[in-house]
Amino acid sequence: MRFAMHEDQPYHKSCYKDFFHPKCDVCKNFIPTNKNGLIEYRAHPFWMQKYCPSHEDDGTPRCCSCERMEPTDIKYITLDDGRKLCLECLTSATMDSPECQHLYMDIQEFFEGLNMKVEQQVPLLLVERQALNEALEAEKSGHHLPETRGLCLSEEQIVRTILKRPTIGPGNRIMDMITGPYKLVRRCEVTAILILYGLPRLQTGSILAHEMMHAYLRLKGIPIP
């Protein structure tokens, strides 16, 4: 009988596999070897979640915030716009416009501390992905990436914003989402800041700070590349 060695200790091959062969954090199976007989896996650069290479192409959902893949034994939250949110990110997720106002005030105070006070009262609205994309199209702004999570608007338009935090229903799906129209009126160079709903507070704050910088520059008449 052939044995596998580990730190000068012999193991049956089956025992060695049970003890030392890495398992996929997504499907919970042993990570298969590649055509060269080597164990090959992927790992998230921050979370170090190890998974089979096949999961990158088999439709396994990722959290829209932290990008961790959905394990088979944990059901992620499905947001109204189709995005998935892991349970860790859900604990601090910002879900509606009223809920975000305290964070907005914190960011405003941060800017004031840098002697960069945003003088105008700019509305902050949390929106779904479709509303954000529609606003982006109306804005015709070219500096945002396809995966837009925030937007600083300068045009008059009507935006659907989230008015009340939704609840989680059967199958971990978001339900009872209440949205309503918000008419943006151009009184200055910035009409509103839109942020994608459902992201953790820390991430929402970083996006908001980025968009507030755009607002500050526009209100000061400084061109944005």
- Residue 96's CB is within 10 A of a number of other CB atoms, namely 20
DSSP 63-120: BTTT-PBPPTTSPPEE-TTS-EE-HHHHTTEE-SHHHHHHHHHHHHHHHHHTT----S
Look at the pTM and tell me if it is higher than 0.85. Answer: no
pLDDT the model gives residue 169: 85
Answer with the residue of higher pLDDT: 51 or 171: 51
C-alpha to C-alpha distance for 148 and 125, rounded to whole angstroms = 15
Q: Residue 224 and residue 217: Cα distance in Å, rounded? A: 7
Q: In the prediction, which pLDDT does 22 show? A: 84
Q: Is 93 exposed, middle or buried (0-12, 13-18, 19+ CB in 10 A)?
A: buried
Strands (E), 133-198: 150-153, 158-164, 167-169, 173-175, 178-183, 192-196
Q: Is the pLDDT of residue 4 over 80?
A: no
Domain ranges in the chain?
A: 3-90, 93-219
Is it the case that residue 143 has pLDDT exceeding 80?
Answer: no
